[in-house]
Every structure is written in C-alpha cells, then in structure tokens.
C-alpha cells in the first residue's frame, strides 16, 4: 500500500522529516509514535499529498507519487485530521460535509447514501442537518471519519484521531476504527503519541524522533517493551503509568 524511500520534508529552511523509509502492506495497520514536533503530521501530509515540500520516493497503492496527485487520489487515500473541529467547515451541515467528497468526484448520491454513512459510524439521520458546533467532540470525530470513508478508500491516514476526546469516547472511536478496518479490509497509518493506542490498533509501528524513524517494531514488541533504541525505551517507560485497556 505504501512504499516510502528516503522521504525528507521541509517547512521553509527547517528539515522536519529526515530520510524516512518504510513499507505498509495491503490491509496492514502501521503506527507512528513520537513526541510533539517530531514530524508525524508532516509525514502523514506528505503521503496524503497535502504537503508539497518533500523529496524521496513514494508509491501509494502501487503507483509512484509526485508532488501533484491525480484528481481521483481521494478514492484511494483519505485522511482524518488531528483536530476534528478544524477539519469540518463550521457553516456546512453534516450532510453537506459527507456529500462533498462525492460531489468533488462527480459521483451521484442521495440522502440514503449519506444516512448509511452516518449509520456506519454510529450516528443516525437526525444528525444530517446539524452543524459541527451542534455535535459533541466524539460525534464530530465520527463525522470526520464518516467523511474520510465516503469514497471507500483503501488507505486511511489517521492523525491523532482521538487526542481531543476523553477516555471513554476515545475507546468508542478506537472500537469504531477497528470495526471499520475489519469490515473493509483497509490499511491504516495511525499517528499517535500514545503507545497504548498504537498497540490497540496497529500490527507494526515506528518510533519517530526529531524527524527520523529511530526504531520499527511489531505491536507485540511494543507491548512488551522489547525496544532497542534508548528514546523508544524512554517513551515506553513514560507511557507505562498511563495504560488503559482499550
């Protein structure tokens, strides 16, 4: 699903992603953990085609990618953003937000299609006419996930999908994501600063520090703390006290 070789990305003069290489298999869920500012969101945005200042080689779903992505790229890949409030237009109803990816791709739709998408994420038709500020944080994130799933992409990029939510809502959203991935057989790349969330959702993960991947591990090794890199071990030790069963 993803072949990334030597990806380097800049913000102005700053190199914020440094020579990163990794693969994600079809149907696999790959996690990226690391501290704030380590370049996780920027790397995800490079894959999504939203950040243009990068070099290296990137293939997505077997196709080599340039800075500009094909118009139908959204049918293959979509992204759920770190801040669900920011990713939904405040003056767009939920129904309109869900219709938009279809409109952009010139796909005909009806209200039943929108309602089915709402049902898939545990909402119902009554939410269709609401505006983002009329939803709870968890409901907003469900809408953002529903929107990202509208075109039935093969790859979902998730940037801290639950960081803005309290613990019980976090668990609901993680369960939703797990169910969606199982039902659709999609691939995930999930960014989080929580090792517990990555363990819960991913088969493999990379630890990122100051723009570089310093270690790649299986979820099992992550769970057991079987890590070689000193920074990765520190991250593991720090997360220990905060573990919950998701």
Ligand X SMILES: Nc1ncnc2c1ncn2[C@@H]1O[C@H](COP(=O)(O)OP(=O)(O)OP(=O)(O)O)[C@@H](O)[C@H]1O
Contacts to ligand X by CB under 6 A: 11, 16, 34, 36-42, 82, 193
Which residue lies nearer to Mg ion by CB, 41 or 194? Answer: 41
- The C-alpha atoms of residue 219 and residue 221 are separated, in whole angstroms, by 6
Segment 35 to 64, residues that bind Mg ion, using CB under 5 A:
41
C-beta closer to ligand X: residue 39 or 138:
39
At closest approach, how far in Å is the CB of 21 from ligand X?
Answer: 17
Residue where the block lists tokens 């939410």? 127
User: Which residue lies nearer to ligand X by CB, 39 or 95?
Assistant: 39
As measured in angstroms, the least distance from the Cβ of 34 to ligand X is 6
**Which is closer to ligand X, CB of 41 or CB of 141?**
41
Q: Which is nearer to ligand X, 33 or 200 (CB)?
A: 33
Residue 39 interacts with which of ligand X, Mg ion, none, CB < 5 to 8 Å by class: ligand X
Q: Which entry of Mg ion, ligand X, none binds 16, CB below 5 to 8 A by partner kind?
A: ligand X
Residue 138's binding partner among ligand X, Mg ion, none (Cβ under 5 to 8 angstroms by kind) is none
Nearest-approach distance from CB 160 to Mg ion, in angstroms: 6
CB of 11 to ligand X, least distance (A): 3
**Tokens describing residue 82:** 């770190």
| Footprint on residues 173-232 left by Mg ion (CB under 5 A) | none
Least distance between ligand X and beta carbon 210 (Å)? 9
């Amino acid at each position: 699903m993803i072949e990334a070789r030597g990806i380097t990305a800049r913000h102005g003069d700053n190199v914020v992603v440094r020579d990163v290489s990794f693969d994600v298999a079809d149907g696999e869920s790959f996690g990226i953990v690391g501290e704030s500012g380590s370049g996780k969101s920027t790397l995800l945005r490079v894959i999504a085609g939203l950040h243009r200042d990068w070099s290296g080689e990137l293939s997505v779903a077997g196709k080599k990618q340039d800075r500009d992505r094909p118009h139908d790229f959204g049918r293959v890949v979509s992204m759920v953003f770190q801040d669900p409030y920011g990713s939904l237009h405040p003056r767009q109803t939920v129904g309109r937000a869900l219709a938009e990816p279809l409109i952009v791709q010139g796909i005909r739709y009806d209200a039943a299609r929108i309602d089915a998408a709402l049902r898939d994420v545990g909402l119902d038709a009554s939410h269709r006419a609401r505006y983002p500020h009329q939803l709870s944080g968890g409901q907003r994130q469900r809408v953002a996930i529903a929107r990202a799933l509208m075109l039935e992409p093969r790859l979902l990029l998730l940037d801290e999908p639950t960081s803005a939510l309290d613990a019980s809502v976090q668990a609901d959203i993680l369960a939703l994501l797990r169910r969606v991935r199982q039902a659709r057989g999609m691939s995930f790349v999930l960014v989080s600063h929580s090792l517990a969330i990555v363990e819960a959702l991913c088969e493999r993960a990379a630890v990122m520090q100051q723009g570089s991947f310093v270690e790649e591990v299986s979820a099992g090794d992550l769970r057991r703390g079987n890590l070689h890199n000193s920074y990765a071990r520190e991250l593991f030790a720090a997360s220990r006290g905060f573990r919950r069963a998701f």
